[in-house]
Structure 1
Amino acid sequence: MSNWHLGRLAGFDLETTGVDVETDRIVTACVVQCGADQPTVSATWLADPGIDIPDDAAKVHGITTEQARAEGRPAPEVVEQITAALAEVMLAGTPVVVMNAAFDLTMLDREARRHGVQPFADIAGADLRVIDPRVLDKRVSRRRGPRTLTDLCKHYGVKLDGAHSADADALAACRVAWRIAQQYAEVGNGLLDELHDQQIDWAREQGESLAAHFRRTPGKESWADGVRTEWPLIPHQAGGDDQ
């Protein structure tokens, strides 16, 4: 549909035990549906990830190992429910808005495989339509500096209450995507199908540019090898670490 941002949007965000998509685990999650002059509907989850939550991660999202064990639902149950919620909105034609999608969607994919749940991308198939505010912002704005969700909210005038809680971040990502679409016709006026495909190309170009930057920066040359260019998720490698 044209002017995709004027319809319903589904924001998705995870808070996790760390930043390694292959080995870390989901702690909290949110899928929020908003926009189109309809009420905002939010579903949130707290999981017992089955492993200890490092202190550094707990300081970011506020969930300790003890709290997750006492109050969280079993990880397989949470992963299945998140996957089902995302599949439902996706199959209804609602774009899923994910800040730095390659992290959250890859994390969910690996958790699904770890717990015997059909991966979200496999269910969505050709209906997979993702909007990534980070990819969009890098495309339309050449400014320097960091591009975290907090940075994007400041730049586009979006209020962010409770940063690093999954529900606040998921809703803020939708609002940032809406602001970008309102300000830049390249983003807002395109067909959703085409925009999804364009983001695949843009994310690859952005990753290649970052890797090139690392290669020519003294002391960071080795970082280039760790830059991934796949979007909206990193394909699973058979035989990888599913433990």
Structure 2
Amino acid sequence: MDTWIAQSLPLWEAEAPAWSRIVGVFDLETTGIDVSEDRIVTAHVGVIGTGGAIHRAQDWLADPGIDIPEQATAVHGISTARAREAGRPAAEVVTEVVAALRGLFDQGIPVVAYNASYDFSLLAHEAERHGVTPLHDPSPVIDPFVIDKAFDRYRRGKRTLDVVAEHYAVALDGAHEAAADAVAAGRVAQAMVSRFPVPETAAELHTRQIGWARAQAASLTEYFIKVGRISADETVDGGWPIR
């Protein structure tokens, strides 16, 4: 069910590009980290406005059709038993999540997703698994993970959402809960684009992120080879927003 919430937050700087005043937000919590094999457990698609105010929010709990590993439950709090009891059929959830995102893109609303290539890739595989037409080329997508690494490349420390949110003074209550993560990512994106010289249009920023993600993956590949994490003939996939 959609919920509409009025919420007052401090405004971001006036220099933020016009497109950042209304953005979609998207996040998944899943059974694991393999985008081709793991399944959706919870999902959130919403819209936030100026200052991060929540305008629209829709949440889903799915029965993924497989057992949820204990390590995944430890992250997002959803057990296999709860998903089977209260979750809706995965095919229905995937259909509705894809439709909600497609609706935002059709309206020209950019969608923020933190580490977008994970969420959009897993959703694409889930869509194919359940016979749903996937989002083949979602655009424009805004990924604070990619933007942060592009504009603040040498900052030390982790780049997880909770750490990055704290760096940009964005509250994140209930980390690893789809709605909380999605909204926090949207607010982080709004903070970033008011601080950095990003393109004036979301479409141009989308295009730039494709190149940034590719370069970041190449740099990570070099590092992983150097420390022996991967072999010299392996590479980190830099496909974005779907890999």
TM-score calculated relative to the size of structure 2: 0.89
2:86 equivalent in structure 1 = 71
Q: Which segments of structure 1 move beyond 6 Å, counting only runs of 4 or more?
A: none
Question: Partners of 1:137 and 1:224 in 2: how far apart?
Answer: 28
- Find the partner of 2:159 among 129, 144, 147: 147
- Find the partner of 2:128 among 91, 113, 124: 113
1:207 equivalent in structure 2 = 217
Richer in helix (by share): 1
Q: Matched residue of 2:231: which SS?
A: helix
Q: What RMSD over aligned residues (CA atoms) do the two structures have, in Å?
A: 1.7
Contact 1:9–1:95 under 8 Å retained in 2: yes
Say if 2:213 is the partner of 1:198: no
* Equivalent position amino acid for 1:3 in 2: P
Say if 2:173 is the partner of 1:172: no
Deviation at 1:6, TM superposition (A): 3.6
Contact 1:34–1:40 under 8 Å retained in 2: yes
- Find the partner of 2:236 among 202, 227, 230: 227
Contact 2:19–2:202 under 8 Å retained in 1: no
1:80 equivalent in structure 2 = 95
* Equivalent position amino acid for 1:172 in 2: A
Contact 2:19–2:201 under 8 Å retained in 1: no
Identity of aligned residues (%): 48
2:5 equivalent in structure 1 = none
* Equivalent position amino acid for 1:47 in 2: A
2:76 equivalent in structure 1 = 61
Question: Partners of 2:33 and 2:91 in 1: how far apart?
Answer: 20
* Counterpart mapping for 1:93-104 below 5 A: 93-104=108-119
Question: Partners of 2:170 and 2:206 in 1: how far apart?
Answer: 23
Gaps of 5+ in 2: 1-15
Question: Partners of 2:40 and 2:155 in 1: how far apart?
Answer: 32
* Equivalent position amino acid for 1:102 in 2: S
Q: Matched residue of 2:136: which SS?
A: helix
Contact 1:5–1:181 under 8 Å retained in 2: no
Give a deviation string over 1:42-65, Cα, whole Å, max 9, x none.
000000000000000000000000
1:238 equivalent in structure 2 = none
**How many residues matched?**
226
* Equivalent position amino acid for 2:161 in 1: L
Question: Partners of 1:64 and 1:108 in 2: how far apart?
Answer: 20
Deviation at 1:216, TM superposition (A): 1.3
Question: Partners of 1:175 and 1:36 in 2: how far apart?
Answer: 9
Question: Partners of 2:76 and 2:216 in 1: how far apart?
Answer: 28
Question: Partners of 1:224 and 1:194 in 2: how far apart?
Answer: 33
Question: Partners of 1:138 and 1:119 in 2: how far apart?
Answer: 28
Contact 1:83–1:120 under 8 Å retained in 2: yes
Deviation at 1:68, TM superposition (A): 0.1
Contact 2:218–2:235 under 8 Å retained in 1: no
Give a deviation string over 1:144-198, Cα, whole Å, max 9, x none.
22100001111100000100000000000000000101111x22x5221111100
Gaps of 5+ in 1: 235-243
* Equivalent position amino acid for 2:40 in 1: I
Q: In the superposition, relative to structure 1, how do residues 77 and 157 fare at CA in structure 2: closer, same or farther (>3 Å)?
A: same
2:12 equivalent in structure 1 = none
